[in-house]
């Protein structure tokens, strides 16, 4: 017997939310009814989708593949239903965005709060994590990342056309140390490493008058959160390579000092991205519109 749409949505919800209880709340059914429905589906398919213990629910290997396979089709169905029922109505429903903590902070005031004010019938859910995830497989409508981290098969909409990374350190760290005057000097300093969304350790990149350099700094401390990196730099842990926007207030207050400014020009910045589809849901198109309006105001 072919699984029903409700059964597939149930499996997807349990996988996304990590348990039957939160999935049942979202779907508006009891936990026991949801558990029995999924168990019946597993029996019909002759495949165990979830591993269950008294404390946790996790996908089996077969379950991971099953959820990954049905996710695009479920999204297409949701999009079609929303498009059919929202021709003359304002955006509504739940819009799930995955992004990094630093990107969420940059987007909050000019983009996200404006979107929430403008579209009160939409529930905007922003999930922040440093690692890059499969937004389609994890049930997100869109993601927001630096342009070079976005998968090539996704549609990308620029949010902030340029981002500038800078070198900073605290007065406390610089006591008794020579100020770096060129990128090679960083090899003689303690530096704070940054793990990117892709999992790699970021190589500090510099450019001046068509001369490009990359410095593989040696780190005793590696972090994947820009907030933690800033806090560590302010605390005197070493020099850090951070987004200018996040560090600007700390530089103005004297907590941080900027170095090598002539070597750190801006580069292509943050973009919203989502899977290509025939019909973009109104709630997602509305976010794209807010982003483009903000870009027009600030350009």
Distance CA 283, CA 51 (A): 34
Distance CA 58, CA 65 (A): 13
Q: Per-residue pLDDT averaged across 178-194, rounded?
A: 94
Residue 299 predicted with pLDDT over 70: no
Identify the pLDDT of residue 105. 86
* Span 273-293, pLDDT tens digits: 999 876 789 999 999 999 999
Percent of all residues in the chain with a pLDDT value above 70, rounded to a whole number: 96
Q: How crowded is the C-beta side of 293, counted as CA atoms within 13 Å? A: 12
Burial of 67 (0-12, 13-18, 19+ CB in 10 A): buried
Residue 252 predicted with pLDDT over 80: yes
Cβ density class 73-98: b for 16+ within 10 Å, e for less: ebbeeebeebeeeeeeeebbbebbbb
Structure tokens at 248: 């600007």
Identify the pLDDT of residue 85. 63
If we measure between CA atoms, which residue out of 83, 152, 254, 132 comes closest to residue 140?
Answer: 132
Could you tell me the pLDDT band of residue 1, with boundaries at 50, 70 and 90? low
* Span 98-113, pLDDT tens digits: 998 888 988 998 999 9
Distance CA 71, CA 193 (A): 35
Spell out the residues 6+ positions from residue 107 whose beta carbon is closer than 8 angstroms to its own.
99, 144, 159, 270
Cβ density class 11-31: b for 16+ within 10 Å, e for less: bbbbbbbebbeebbebbebee
What is the C-alpha end-to-end distance of the chain, expressed in Å? 56
3-state secondary structure of 271: strand
* Span 23-62, pLDDT tens digits: 999 888 898 999 999 999 999 999 999 999 888 899 999 9
DSSP string, 74-126: HHHHHHHHHHHH-SSS---EEEEEEE-HHHHHHHIIIIIHHHHHH-TTEEEEE
* Span 196-229, pLDDT tens digits: 766 778 889 899 987 888 898 889 999 988 889 9
**∠18-23-29 over CA atoms, to 5°?**
155
What domains can you pick out in the chain, each with its CATH number? 5-70 (1.10.10.10), 86-161+269-298 (3.40.190.10), 165-265 (3.40.190.290)
Q: Per-residue pLDDT averaged across 6-17, rounded?
A: 92
Spell out the residues 6+ positions from residue 199 whose beta carbon is closer than 8 angstroms to its own.
131, 132
Residue with the two structure tokens 């300093």: 189
Could you tell me the pLDDT band of residue 137, with boundaries at 50, 70 and 90? confident
Residue 87 predicted with pLDDT over 70: no
């Amino acid at each position: 017997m072919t699984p029903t749409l409700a059964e597939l949505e149930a499996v997807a919800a349990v996988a996304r939310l990590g348990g039957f209880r939160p999935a049942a709340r979202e779907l508006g059914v009891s936990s026991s009814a949801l558990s029995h429905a999924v168990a019946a589906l597993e029996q019909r398919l002759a495949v165990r989708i979830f591993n269950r213990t008294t404390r946790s629910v996790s996908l089996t290997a077969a379950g991971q593949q099953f959820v990954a396979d049905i996710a695009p089709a479920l999204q297409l169905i949701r999009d079609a239903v929303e498009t059919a029922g929202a021709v003359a109505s304002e955006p509504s429903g739940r819009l799930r965005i995955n992004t990094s903590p630093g990107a969420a902070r940059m987007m909050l005031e000019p983009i996200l709060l404006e979107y929430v004010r403008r579209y009160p019938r939409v529930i905007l859910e922003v999930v922040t994590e440093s690692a890059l995830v499969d937004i389609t497989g994890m049930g997100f409508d869109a993601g927001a990342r630096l342009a070079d981290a976005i998968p090539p098969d996704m549609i990308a909409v620029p949010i902030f056309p340029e981002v500038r990374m800078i070198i900073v350190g605290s007065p406390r760290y610089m006591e008794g140390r020579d100020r770096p005057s060129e990128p090679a000097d960083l090899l003689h300093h303690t530096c704070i490493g940054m793990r990117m969304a892709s999992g790699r350790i970021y190589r500090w990149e510099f450019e001046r008058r068509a001369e490009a350099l990359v410095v593989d700094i040696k780190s005793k401390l590696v972090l994947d959160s820009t907030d933690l990196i800033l806090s560590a730099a302010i605390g005197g842990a070493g020099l850090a390579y951070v987004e200018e926007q996040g560090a600007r207030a700390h530089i103005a207050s004297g907590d941080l000092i900027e170095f090598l400014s002539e070597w750190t020009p801006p580069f292509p910045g943050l973009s919203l991205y989502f899977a290509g589809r025939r019909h973009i849901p109104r709630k997602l198109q509305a976010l794209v519109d807010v982003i483009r309006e903000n870009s027009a105001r600030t350009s």
